[in-house]
Structure 1
Amino acid sequence: MRVLGVATAADLLRLLLIPGLAWAAYRDIRTRRVASGLWYPLLAVGALAFVVEAAGAYPFADYAGRLFLVRAGFSLFFLVPFSVLAYRMAAFGGADMKALVVLAVAFPTTPEYVVPLWILPDVTWLHTVGFPAHPSALGVAAMSALTNAVLFGAGYVALLFASNVAARRLSPAMLVGRWTAVEDLPEVHGQLIRVDGLRPERGLDLDALRMYLRWRGITLAAVRADPATRRDPASVGETYPPTDGAVHDGPRTDGGTGSDGGFEFPEADESSSDPEIGPAAAGTDDGDAGTDDGDAGTDDDLWAAERFLDDIEGSAYGTTPETLREGLERVAREDALWVSPGLPFLVPLFGGLVLALTYGDVLTVALGAIGVA
């Protein structure tokens, strides 16, 4: 039963998810981080909508009731395990997985909205428009959102390839990478790409690079200005919280201060010969600097990479000492590098949901147009 002739109570509840998902997409673009606490209220609203719709279909004796069970079963027992498996295989990030779980619970069927329109100049002429315009035959909006998101992602890859061709940057990395000035890396999310023959391989994660620079309390410009000194593990003195490497959360590695909190880069001591680093960074006043971790403080630990990974007590996005050293050598000597920007998947997923609720499943429409579906 539609409320005010617009939509069912369950479908109106589902609209409450849109602002939260839009915020998640925005945060994914800005920082590639979404607070875990966001997903609990969204999941609660989605579960409430699910229960309301299930109560309306109970006792599932007629065709509509049984169809609801089939669609709900597909959404919960296919899409939820799929999202978890994709996360375990590193195809999804944690936020991507949670977003798809929320969609699977909240949108096991396709909502129907009837929007009244007053046609001017005769405002007494009332016309109604139904959404989505082309619902899929499967009728699971969560699946339509995922399908649309995948198509958006494929379009992104095609645009990336086309832009590289137009710029005549012909390389095995042109399908997955963007040619990026090293000076811009502090403001970029993604991973460095190294090309080995015809095979592009992912290298240092730029979030890990920011973590390392924040841990040392230096900027990327300082590394490039004197890589020989920075390469010496004895040059690491006092260290600082590495944060999680997000661009806008914490101190900026171009020398500024993050706008979302965090600490500032340390003030240089007047006796320090290098204004980019703290008073102990030269390693002359701190006898223990770089020696607390055994071999991690020896000359063999170039860039103090092992010491960094030991200090942060984490993986820094799977970074190894060798990957970190290789990446630092490259950013120290090159002016531009291939970077795999990575697609903030919450953005196409949100766009895919909005498209699914207004237009429908793009793949279904396309296949129908060519007579396949």
Structure 2
Amino acid sequence: MTSLPDLLRLVVVPALGWAAYRDVRTRRVPNDLWAPLALLGVVLLVWEAFSRLGDPYLSVWALRVALSVGIVAPLALAFWYVGGFGGADAKAFMVLAVLLPTYPTYQIDSVWLPIVTTDVGVFSLTVLTNAVLVALAYPLALAGHNLLRGEFSWVAFLGREIPVDEVPSHHGSLLETPDGFTRNGLDLDALRMYLRWRGVSLAKLRANPALRDPATLPEEPNEPTDGAVLADGSGDPWGAAAFLDDIDSSAYGTTPDQLRAGLDVLIAADEVWITPGIPFIVPTFFGLLLALTVGDLLFAVLFAVGLV
């Protein structure tokens, strides 16, 4: 029968699903979400450790827990440190490393889930490999969509084209400069910070390109916020340097040149290419669902082709 600790662990599914939805909509996940889940994980580990006293497989279980907490959690932290993960992505995996270190088991009629398990038996590692495989499918889907539209350049794998007036409600970054495509375009959160700082909309900038003149900057700039989507010097075109000097933030690493180039594109074009920048917590959520049902996708593929 399914154990009570394994049933309680399922609370992570709606929690991670909500976090993924929130991250897609706002690119912000409240920190308060993670501590209760981590605490639950610790309580369940203590519960299971006591319930396994005298079990000859206790040492195997303990080794798998140690591998999850000692490898997966630090790996998530390392990915965050080098910029491969966002903060929420790293926290999600650190929670999973504690809450789901070993394979849970669930019985539905005569079927036991997950179906495909591994000899290593570290469930959080399975979620991680599943998430990577799910994430790899996204650029392929983008490419398929763009190829059908006749776009055959490298940008087809990274982004999509949207009307300029939709830019303020999207996250990600521009894939264009006045000189062509780029992988280092303006961050759209930084764009929103700039617009709020100036107290203008993108539509107003497009309607009045004279605002490129830094003499039109406000005498008392507004609060730039953090650039989240809300339910809204002659040698310094657009006042880009003045903005970055004034705010107490790096604006996501944006440089004055990036901001100027992005604004020049946005006032001239009707449609622009952006990279949606899907947060990794989204494939993590789907990787978790697949891990709880199908199991380890990588192991299943390797087994199917005879490599394991």
TM over 0.5: yes
1:303 aligns with 2:285: no
**Partner Cα distance (2:177, 2:129) in 1:** 31
1:342 aligns with 2:270: no
- Match of 1:72, SS? helix
- Match of 1:92, SS? coil
Task: Note the C-alpha offset of 1:59.
Answer: 6.2
- Match of 2:110, SS? strand
AA in 1 matched with 2:4: A
1:108 aligns with 2:101: yes
Question: Counterpart of 1:28?
Answer: 23
AA in 2 matched with 1:170: F
Q: What is the root-mean-square deviation in Å for CA atoms of aligned residues?
A: 1.9
Matches within 5 A, 1:196-235: 200-227=182-209, 229-235=210-216
Aligned equivalent of 2:298, options 363, 370, 373? 363
- Match of 1:158, SS? helix
Aligned equivalent of 2:146, options 142, 155, 164? 164
AA in 1 matched with 2:3: T
AA in 2 matched with 1:233: P
AA in 2 matched with 1:144: T
AA in 2 matched with 1:71: R
**Partner Cα distance (1:103, 1:160) in 2:** 29
Question: Counterpart of 1:45?
Answer: 40
Task: Note the C-alpha offset of 1:196.
Answer: 10
**Partner Cα distance (1:41, 1:361) in 2:** 27
Task: Note the C-alpha offset of 1:15.
Answer: 1.4
1:372 aligns with 2:270: no
Maintained 8 Å contact 2:132/2:283: yes
Task: Note the C-alpha offset of 1:198.
Answer: 10
**Partner Cα distance (2:177, 2:260) in 1:** 17
Matches within 5 A, 1:22-171: 22-58=17-53, 62=56, 64-115=57-108, 127-171=109-153
- Match of 2:34, SS? helix
- Match of 1:204, SS? coil
Question: Counterpart of 1:354?
Answer: 289
**Partner Cα distance (2:101, 2:47) in 1:** 12
Task: Note the C-alpha offset of 1:19.
Answer: 2.0
Maintained 8 Å contact 1:182/1:336: yes
**Partner Cα distance (2:243, 2:177) in 1:** 26
Maintained 8 Å contact 1:141/1:353: no
**Partner Cα distance (1:321, 1:196) in 2:** 15
Task: Note the C-alpha offset of 1:160.
Answer: 0.6
Maintained 8 Å contact 2:159/2:275: yes
Question: Counterpart of 1:16?
Answer: 11
- Match of 1:114, SS? strand
**Partner Cα distance (1:104, 1:86) in 2:** 15
Deviations 1:116-150 (A, max 9, x none): xxxxxxxxxxx432111222332222111111111
Maintained 8 Å contact 1:195/1:201: no
Deviations 1:209-262 (A, max 9, x none): 0111111111101111111x211112111322212111135xx2xxxxxxxxxx
Task: Note the C-alpha offset of 1:366.
Answer: 1.2
- Match of 1:201, SS? coil
Task: Note the C-alpha offset of 1:314.
Answer: 0.4
Q: TM-score, normalised by structure 2?
A: 0.94
Higher relative contact order (CA 8 A, sep 6+): 2
Residue 240 to residue 372, structure 1, CA distance change in 2 (3 Å): same
**Partner Cα distance (1:196, 1:26) in 2:** 33
**Partner Cα distance (2:179, 2:50) in 1:** 60
Identity %, equivalent residues: 44
Unaligned runs of 5+ in 2: none
Maintained 8 Å contact 1:83/1:97: yes
Unaligned runs of 5+ in 1: 116-126, 253-297
Task: Note the C-alpha offset of 1:93.
Answer: 0.2
- Match of 1:337, SS? strand
Matches within 5 A, 1:174-189: 174-189=156-171
Q: Report the structure, 1 or 2, having the larger helix content.
A: 2
Task: Note the C-alpha offset of 1:359.
Answer: 1.4
Question: Counterpart of 1:236?
Answer: 217
Task: Note the C-alpha offset of 1:77.
Answer: 1.3
Give the number of equivalent residue pairs: 307
AA in 1 matched with 2:255: T
Maintained 8 Å contact 2:86/2:279: no
**Partner Cα distance (1:49, 1:195) in 2:** 52
Residue 197 to residue 205, structure 1, CA distance change in 2 (3 Å): closer
AA in 1 matched with 2:196: R
**Partner Cα distance (1:323, 1:50) in 2:** 48
